[in-house]
Amino acid sequence: MLRVIQYILSLLVLVINIAACSPNSELIVTDSRDKILFVGNSFTFINGGIEAHVRELAASAVPTKFIQVESKTRAGATLAIHYRQSDVLEAIRDGAYDVVILQGDIPELTEQSIRPFLEYARLFDQEIKDAGAKTMFFMTWPYERLSWITLEEIVEAHSDISTELNASVAPVGLAFQRALAKRPSLDMLIGDKEHESIHGTYLAASVIYSSLFGESPVGLPYAPTEVSTEESAFLQGIAWETVQKWSSRR
């Protein structure tokens, strides 16, 4: 009888875990020890590096997810600039990564066109696939200093390229929009209205976590000391809502 009860309880846990995930979410990380490379600019390395926050979120899960994270970053860099850096391509080719997360800062493109983003997204994706890894795009946001493009256009560019390449997207820009709509008093950006506040970085990390694992970050205990328990719960919920909605549109 005890064994029967234990078996029933294990089935219930399995059902609960399955229900916690969106049926349309794409599970991009298949092993809790997967190795992940982040390629980006100051949006990636601000506040101690977004990769560190993603790692801590994963480590606080039950069971613990021991992912390995590394980054290649350069202030103001677009994908075009990164592609010309030999160390970035060498890292992708030789680093034995499972996932490469590309943070393309479209507003920084001096051509004021999405074409270079699409071109270098394709070039990077081929390098990533040739190395046996998967591509994920870290969708950023528009800002006043370079206001030639809207969030809607950034979203469209990421939707188009992810469909073309069969790649995943962490829809951070949309999560920022959702968070600000629900709680305007909680700033996602610092005073320059461009770079993330610690709350913005935490929300971005939560979106990336959800996009990587295909599961909700709600309830994970990790949060930076500057983010309260109530704020972390709010931001985790925004992240999961945004990722679910993004997944359902594909």
pTM: 0.88
pLDDT of residue 249: 79
**Long-range contacts from 151-158, C-beta under 8 angstroms, 24+ separation:** 151/177, 153/114, 154/106, 157/106, 157/114, 157/117, 157/118
Using 50, 70 and 90 to split pLDDT, how confident is the model at 250? low
For the stretch 56-114, pLDDT in tens is 999 999 999 999 999 999 999 999 999 999 999 999 999 999 999 999 999 999 999 99
pLDDT of residue 27: 52
Partners of 72 in the β-ladder: 39
For the stretch 23-53, pLDDT in tens is 334 556 655 569 999 999 999 999 999 999 9
pLDDT of residue 32: 57
Domains in the chain (CATH in brackets) are 31-248 (3.40.50.1110)
Can you tell me the mean pLDDT for 108-137?
97
